Amino acid sequence: MTGIRGRAAAALAVCVVFVASPLPRAVPTEAAWADPEWTHGYAGASGAVGTLATVSPATITQCTFNGGLTATVDVYWTLPAGAWTVDNARLYTAPAGGNTLSDSGKVVDNTTTVPSGPGYKSTIALGLLGLGGGLIGTRDTAIVLQAGTWQSAEARIRVRQLAGLVGSCAIQ
């Protein structure tokens, strides 16, 4: 028993010395940092932890399927209020039913976007394989606004087509 008491007393003495020893003082510094990233949005009203800001999505007003050997889909959309530009918009596509296209889909490269009325018209070239979806397929396409690491919710359409000859487009 003497051995256990001796070890306990030694451990207690080490703890007392450690706790009683002074901590080093903080040293003033001239360190600084800057964050060059900026974004657009507004502060979230919910006050929930982690909800610092919400980026409003684009609004899709209409979509039209144009069948043929050079099939296309015309998507008419507008930007939310604020300082967003068409350069912030990205189009993503993936097979229908996916959760978040901007995470799992691919960027749609075969797109032409031009001003149209109060917004824009994006023409997506489908061709015979319909955005890589095969001769018969259903794909979702989303417009996402991005600035740095910030991005909006997705504004989606669903395109159903048969070899680019017949098909439909619907706003999701």
What single DSSP character describes residue 17? H
Tokens of 46: 């919910």
Q: Please state, as a whole number, how many other Cβ atoms lie within 10 Å of the Cβ of residue 21.
A: 7
Q: pLDDT of 52-82, one tens digit each?
A: 467 789 999 999 999 887 888 999 999 998 8
Q: Where are the domains of the chain?
A: 55-171
Query: What distance in Å separates the CA atoms of residue 27 and residue 71, rounded to the nearest whole number?
Result: 68
Residue type, 11: A
Mean pLDDT, the chain, rounded, equals: 75
Residue type, 138: T
**0.75 surpassed by pTM:** no
Category of 9 on φ-ψ map: left (φ > 0), alpha (ψ -120 to 50) or beta = alpha
Would you say how long the chain is, in residues?
172
Topology annotation, domain 55-171: Immunoglobulin-like (2.60.40)
